[in-house]
Amino acid sequence: MLKAILATGNSDKIIEIAAILRDVELLPRPSHLGDVDEAGDTLEDNARLKAIAVVEATGTLTIADDTGLEVDFLGGLPGVRTSRFAGENATYDDNIKKILAELEGIEVPRRTARFRTVAIACFPNGTEILTQGVLHGSIALAASGYGGFGYDPVFIPDETPGRTLAELSFEDKNSISHRGLAFRALAQRLKDY
């Protein structure tokens, strides 16, 4: 089985990616490598920064992702600042409160948004495989549901009218989500490679 380091320390992401990438043996990111400053201007740059730091230190195939929420009314924000929208050490709740506040009074048809995940696999020889997954939907008027993580309680996918991502089962979320799409595409490309 293909082995790859998963360059994330976010336990919510790890458990989703492990469920999606069942044909890859995921190895942990070595703990002595410090956090990577996500200083890139794009999701692609940030995913690459995270993966390259690990592949260069270890010489082992490394997988990473970066995910952004793009809200049309906010001109595509929070985008690369998705996890830090309410500040550097923002919790999921802080970010949800901020996005609901920013869209206060905005009606449903103008709350369109999308989740975008860029997944990357970087080989020690410099080869890189990059895939993307996009989930279209809108920002709910209030948080609902306990599944998933991050902004899931306020994101209503177009495929599931009236239900947020946090109200879907783990399997249903992964079957339609940006992360599911990006990592299933990555798995296929790795298989073909």
**Helix residue ranges, H only, the chain:** 11-20, 43-58, 92-102, 170-176, 178-192
Helices and strands of the chain, counted as H and E runs: 5, 6
124 is a contact residue toward a copy of itself (CB under 8 A): no
28 is a contact residue toward a copy of itself (CB under 8 A): yes
Here's the x/- map for a copy of itself, 147-176, by CB under 8 A: it reads as xxx--------------------x------
Cβ(153)–Cβ(96) under 8 Å? yes
Amino acid identity of 52? I
Phi, psi (degrees; rounded to nearest 5) at 168: -90, 155
Given the structure tokens 């998963």, which residue do they identify?
A: 6
Indicate the residue among 4 and 121 with the shorter CB distance to a copy of itself.
4
Is 66 a known active-site residue?
Answer: yes
Piece in contact with a copy of itself (CB under 8 A), picked from 8-16, 45-53, 94-102, 112-120: 8-16
Site for a copy of itself in 64-103 (CB under 8 A): 92
Which residue in the list 12, 23, 45, 66 is annotated as catalytic? 66
Cβ(155)–Cβ(115) under 8 Å? yes
104 is a contact residue toward a copy of itself (CB under 8 A): no
Piece in contact with a copy of itself (CB under 8 A), picked from 22-30, 39-47, 100-108, 126-134: 22-30
Cα–chain-centroid distance for residue 114?
A: 12
Cβ(157)–Cβ(115) under 8 Å? no
Among 2, 14, 106, 141, which residue interacts with a copy of itself (rule: CB under 8 A)? Answer: 14
- Which residues belong to the active site? 66
The contact set with a copy of itself (CB under 8 A) reads 6, 8-12, 14-16, 18-19, 22, 25-28, 30-32, 92, 146-149, 170
